[in-house]
Structure 1
């Protein structure tokens, strides 16, 4: 299997914490050909989409630990046709580069892309949860999105709650997520100005979301593969922060999904598969879905440690099965065409 990871720069990988590196390590251990590249490496030559990437070759003997593998793996720069890969694994951090998706459109019929281009277009920001039908807000928090300062201010002041969550439409790692308290009205104007204004005459969308009781105790990160949960952990905020993201100083602990969380996963799973979102991270607070992370969801390292599992094995098993059945289908098609041709 030939697989290209379109991701962040290789030199930025933290070998002790990186989920993508675990998947890459598993692929190479199984003798698959792996190339890593950034979105900036995509190019077109003679109307053919290529990628400037690094071909990874494992040293011999194969390192016993993943940090050692990262340190000793050999890298070879090459420009390669993207259609020559069986899988393109999208692991670039948000915000999503729309031009990158335009390049990938040209190979969409030839290569299995995870996650699918159209799914990424639809779900790369925090609006995706609005596509899930939940009129009673049983699993989706009440959410407002706008660039209109007066509307947002009015929404805060008229809320039945004493506090709400404010965050940018695009973001990762909990950056920009704050708690707005209604009685701090003197700060609301300046906060909205800061979040909406870009400083260049343009403006940003802002999300206001109902505050979920129990949020101060953290959230649950669930990793979903092909519409099914494969692992979960509880993320707990640092003592001086409301954000539970590990990158924001939070900690993690072992977590078994509750019945409500399992029902939520069962409800959203078919929609994810329908949209080609095969590997995603769900953030859940008190049984409500806060975000669907589709660009480069993390959590493999911590879930592996907490539950003594190897989630990367399940991910690579899934990739191998997809490529296998796609190859069988192509072979059958070729045989049928030959039969018709010789009739």
Structure 2
């Protein structure tokens, strides 16, 4: 089966080919004989005029990739591409912010349903933001609070002290990514006012608050699920002087296995991910038991997982995509 694949992603010239999951997926697709096109989400256009039959197009170019630093891609001529007539699969891989632009793109791509396969499913991506979808699995989460008022956060902090979890908090944007703007608040709350003020000025949505988990010093685990099935995992450890373990902010990776609770988490998530068309998902777990995020927009980590485990997660993802496309 040869597929025509349009990859919706950030500028290809700026990616880190040593660890970029989108690049790994493109290499794998190319090895499988598929044809690749690259386009910027900002070029999506929808024609609802009479006779257009709801035509969704983008301004894209054929692309070939190779694992050569500084010469990792070759683009053909850009042209108008019909995402139904010219494309079999849209791979939605641009990074957040998960803003109105991102949400609007999911609404447009959703109109391809039944004609062109979009991975991950755009309606499910829109309805399952990382730090909101995870609330459906609160039984696996640390105590979690979403709010905007500092008074509410202080009450939450007092409850954590009373419960014996300690008073240190972690505050993070509800729709952030890559460990950006994640702050630790000490038990005395000395910087809480300034942080709340900053969050209120920077984002219209509420923010997420959780107790600081000392286990994070041993890292947090990125677990990848492909069409609901466990595909691999790595442990990400914070860099010196950091508590954030994201690789994007200097964390390091190491091989790992799943704890019994992590296996239980994966089993609980599997049917819902599969039903929602969330083919490539990365979940984050701290201390072998605390589920913190379900990443569906542009998950990462497969390059490090394959390096440590000798696996081929990209191939598993394409096998799942090919199965879904064949079943359309």
TM-score (norm 2): 0.89
Q: Distance in 2 between matches of 1:170 and 1:124?
A: 7
Distance 1:244 1:186 in 2: 24
Shift in Å at residue 70 of structure 1?
5.2
5+ long unaligned stretches in structure 2:
none
Q: Tell me which residue corresponds to 1:105.
A: 110
> What residue in structure 2 maps to residue 258 of structure 1?
259
- Please name the residue that 1:192 is paired with: 196
Find out whether 1:48 has 2:74 as its counterpart: no
2:25 aligned counterpart, secondary structure? helix
Matched with 2:34 is 32
SS at match of 1:277: coil
Greater Cα shift, 108-117 or 157-166: 157-166
1:170 to 172, 175, 180: 175
Matched residues in 1 for 2:90 and 2:41: separation? 12
Per-residue CA distance 1:154-203 (angstroms, 9 max, x = gap): 222342222121101111110111221222x33221111111223xxx73
Alpha-carbon contact 1:222-1:229 (below 8 Å) kept: yes
Cα distance in 1, alignment partners of residues 64 and 295 from structure 2: 30
Partner of 1:91: 93
The CA distance in 2 between the partners of 1:102 and 1:72, in whole Å, is 30
3-state SS of paired residue (1:214): helix
Tell me, in whole angstroms, the C-alpha distance in 2 between the residues paired with 1:72 and 1:168. 34
Give distance in 2, aligned partners of 1:223 and 1:186. 37
SS at match of 1:103: helix
1:128-170 CA-to-partner distances (Å, cap 9, x unmatched) read 11123x4xx3x11211101223212322234222212110111
Deviates more, 1:39-48 or 1:96-105: 39-48
Aligned to 1:126: 131
Work out the CA distance in 1 between the residues paired with 2:70 and 2:170.
41
Q: TM-score, normalised by structure 1?
A: 0.86
CA contact (8 A) 1:284 1:290 kept: yes
Instruction: Report the equivalent of 2:23.
Output: 21
CA–CA distance in structure 2, aligned partners of residues 190 and 51 of structure 1: 43
Partners of 1:70 and 1:21 lie apart in 2 by 13
Match of 1:289 among 291, 309, 323: 291
CA distance in 2, matches of 1:241, 1:292: 22
For residue 219 of structure 2, what is the aligned residue in structure 1? 218
> In the comparison of the two structures, how many residue pairs are matched?
312
The 8 Å contact of residues 221 and 281 in structure 1, kept in 2 or not, is answered as yes
Q: Aligned partners of 2:238 and 2:325: how far apart in 1?
A: 40
Question: Where do 4+ consecutive residues of structure 1 move more than 4 Å?
Answer: none
Q: 1:169·1:205 contact (CA, 8 Å) conserved in 2?
A: yes
Q: RMSD over aligned Cα, in angstroms? A: 1.8
**Cα deviation digits, residues 43-69 of structure 1 (max 9, x gap):** 1244411011121246xxxx6xx2369
Structure 1 alignment gaps of length 5 or more: 327-343
